Structure 1
Amino acid sequence: MVQCRACSRCAVFLAGALVLDAAGLALVLAGAAGQPVLDGQPFQDFLVLSGALLLFLSLLCWLFWYSGNLRGIPAEELPLGARAPLAPHSRPSARARSRDSLLRLAAKLSRRLSQRSPAPSCAPATAAPLEMGRLRPAAQPHAQPGAPAERLV
């Protein structure tokens, strides 16, 4: 028997996902394409909904299987600061240097985009012509000198 390396870990979740996928798909297709009747009552809605529920449960099994098969991150894919320094006698290849510079560029761009710009202040430096409480006398075209300003509210 051939043993798959990807299937060797969390085989229970893989088998559960495959069984739930097959059963859920069969129920959905039987409910959607057929006209099942039990004691004179159609029950295709029950088949479609229960098949959809089985398909959802299979997604959970796939998620558990995938997360159980995750391995450690290779040293080449670690962030730049997390890597051990290279030995003095070894030099990185041109491809590794270009990838490192691309990673540094992406990290710099990410830092710049994640920095927040200063929020505009809520209080303006100068009073606007229209305020919530009153009009400024200079903004009133027919205002008499010394007359009280109109209230907006």
Structure 2
Amino acid sequence: MAETKTKATDVSVDAFLDGVANPVRRADGHALRAMMERVTGEPAVMWGPSIVGFGSYHYRYDSGHEGDACRIGYSPRSANLVLYVGGFDDYAALLGKLGKHKTSKACLYINKLADVDLGVLEEIVRRTYAATEGADRCTVC
């Protein structure tokens, strides 16, 4: 069985965010950290080399694959901010009010925080964090 590559680390979140080359993405990364720490009540922790995560849970699939994942997280990538928030079936109304964004199976892509309604984004973060309470399936896998 393959081992999960993305694990919590002792790498400094501040050092990671301060090292983001794009100044807007760097500032947005710090702003997301502050908002997510406030909403979740959890300290930011690096998961792997590039994901800033909050909280954790253990999952196990019927196949026997299991591991730990952050309950919610993000990464200030070079192309955009990527928020790992799980599925979007429950967020249709919120996404309609969010502003400029794209989605994939479990990711929300935002170019910059100035493009979105921060109150709506905060509600998505709040709901995602609550939805992972007691979860047994990885929402970002």
Interval of TM-score (by shorter of Structure 1 and Structure 2): under 0.3
**Which of structures 1 and 2 has the bigger CA Rg?**
1
**1 or 2, which has the higher helix percentage?**
1
Q: When the two structures are superposed, what TM-score results if normalisation uses the length of structure 2?
A: 0.22
Q: When the two structures are superposed, what TM-score results if normalisation uses the length of structure 1?
A: 0.20
**1 or 2, which has the higher strand percentage?**
2
Structure possessing the higher relative contact order (Cα contacts under 8 Å, 6 or more residues apart): 2
